């Protein structure tokens, strides 16, 4: 069965010397040799990665610049690092056109430039969409400031993958301070905050009418939905009680089923998957690993072991990605 993995990461020297420097230093302090090995795998977008994919039975990876991307960088640095990453990724795609595809890195703090960069990446470099790492210095995609980027993605008919990032500083201080630094990062990051932050980002877009203004816009979120499917029935019931004009134009769940797609992203958890598929159906779910943080073999085995039909597994493994991304 063909496997297309959607949330797979890479780094560049310019990224690690710039926006990614703090993340690399924190990872190396906490993880030592294990973290160093992870960064070596992140830097490899060539034969070594392809060999690892062959061993695990993964045919294609959709590559995106690693967290925290360029969303928290200064304007000129964000523009330069994004373009550099996109050019390096394009070279890797030319070397391995059947094994890699790309999501563009965008300097979201300069939306007109970001929109033009997305056009360049899609039309000239053959990328399949964009990856945005959450808020841009506390500003979310529901802000009209980002309309050029969203309009361009809709016009190009390509999705935006919304990857988690840490909450803004004020939220970090109010909700996640007072612990050991490692505990703060864990609970504000991969253990909780990343996912709640991303789910809230999506809700802001829904409630602010983003998908009413851009009805064909498609977003992708990882980690089996960033807690949104679990809360969907409750949110729908609560939104239905809002006075006229205060809530979304359609039932909240409609947006979750018509404008969003969902991937695994290292969440190989059967109960969580069961909740997602019950709420959105198999046609909105796609395979991913979160490589190199997740194991390609474990993700494949998780998919193969799901108690769903062969047709559903095939759609999740490759069919839905083929339809959405044209790969």
What are the pLDDT digits (tens) for 255-309? 999 999 999 988 999 999 999 999 999 999 999 999 999 999 999 999 999 999 9
Inter-residue contact 156 to 188 (CB < 8 Å) = no
Cβ(239)–Cβ(252) below 8 Å: yes
Let me know: does 5 contact 296? Beta carbons within 8 Å. yes
Share of the chain above pLDDT 70, in %: 100
Please give the average per-residue pLDDT across 158-163, as a whole number. Answer: 98
- Give the Cα separation of 9 and 17 in Å (integer): 17
Q: Residue 26 has what pLDDT?
A: 84
pLDDT tens-place string over residues 172-215: 999 999 999 889 989 999 999 999 999 999 999 999 999 999 99
Assess whether 290 carries a catalytic annotation: yes
Q: Give me the pLDDT at residue 265, please.
A: 87
- 29: confidence class by pLDDT, cuts 50, 70, 90: confident
- What's the whole-model pTM score? 0.96
Name residue 62's beta-bridge partners.
101
pLDDT band at 34 (very low <50, low <70, confident <90, very high): confident
* Predicted pLDDT at 30: 78
User: Which domain covers residue 45, as residue numbers?
Assistant: 4-325
What is the pLDDT of the chain when averaged over all its residues? 96
Per-residue pLDDT for 167 more than 90? yes
CATH number at residue 119: 3.20.20.140
Instruction: Spell out the residues 6+ positions from residue 98 whose beta carbon is closer than 8 angstroms to its own.
Output: 59, 60
Nearest 5°: phi and psi at 103? -110, 130
Domain count, the chain: 1
Question: Residue 67 above 90 pLDDT?
Answer: yes
What is the model's pLDDT at position 58? 98
pLDDT at residue 33, rounded to an integer: 85
The distance from CA 189 to its chain's CA centroid, rounded to whole angstroms, is 14
Instruction: Give the active site residue among 54, 143, 212, 290.
Output: 290
């Amino acid at each position: 069965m063909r496997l297309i993995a959607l949330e797979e990461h890479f780094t560049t020297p310019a990224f690690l010397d710039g926006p990614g420097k703090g993340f690399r230093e924190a990872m190396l302090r906490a993880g030592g040799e294990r973290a160093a090995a992870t960064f070596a795998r992140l830097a490899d977008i060539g034969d070594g990665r392809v060999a690892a994919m062959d061993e695990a039975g993964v045919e294609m990876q959709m590559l995106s610049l690693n967290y925290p991307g360029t969303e928290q960088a200064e304007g000129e640095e964000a523009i330069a690092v994004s373009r550099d990453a996109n050019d390096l990724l394009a070279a890797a795609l030319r070397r391995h056109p059947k094994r890699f595809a790309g999501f563009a890195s965008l300097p979201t703090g300069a939306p007109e430039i970001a929109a033009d960069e997305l056009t360049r990446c899609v039309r000239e470099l053959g990328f399949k969409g964009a990856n945005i790492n959450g808020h841009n210095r506390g500003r979310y995609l529901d802000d009209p400031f980002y309309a050029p980027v969203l309009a361009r993605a809709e016009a190009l008919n390509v999705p935006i993958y919304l990857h988690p990032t840490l909450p803004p500083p004020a939220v970090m201080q109010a909700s996640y301070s007072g612990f050991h630094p490692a505990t703060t990062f864990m609970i504000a990051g991969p253990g909780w905050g990343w996912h709640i932050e991303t789910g809230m980002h999506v809700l802001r877009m829904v409630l602010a009418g983003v998908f009413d203004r851009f009805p064909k816009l498609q977003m992708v979120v990882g980690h089996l939905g960033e807690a949104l499917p679990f809360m969907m029935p409750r949110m729908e019931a609560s939104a239905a009680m809002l006075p006229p004009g205060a809530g979304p134009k359609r039932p909240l769940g409609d947006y979750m089923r018509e404008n969003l797609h969902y991937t695994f992203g290292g969440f190989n958890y059967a109960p969580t998957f069961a909740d997602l598929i019950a709420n959105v159906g198999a046609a909105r779910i796609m395979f991913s690993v979160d490589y190199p943080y997740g194991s390609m073999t474990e993700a494949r085995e998780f998919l193969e072991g799901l108690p769903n039909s062969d047709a559903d597994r095939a759609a999740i493994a490759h069919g839905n990605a083929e339809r959405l991304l044209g790969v």
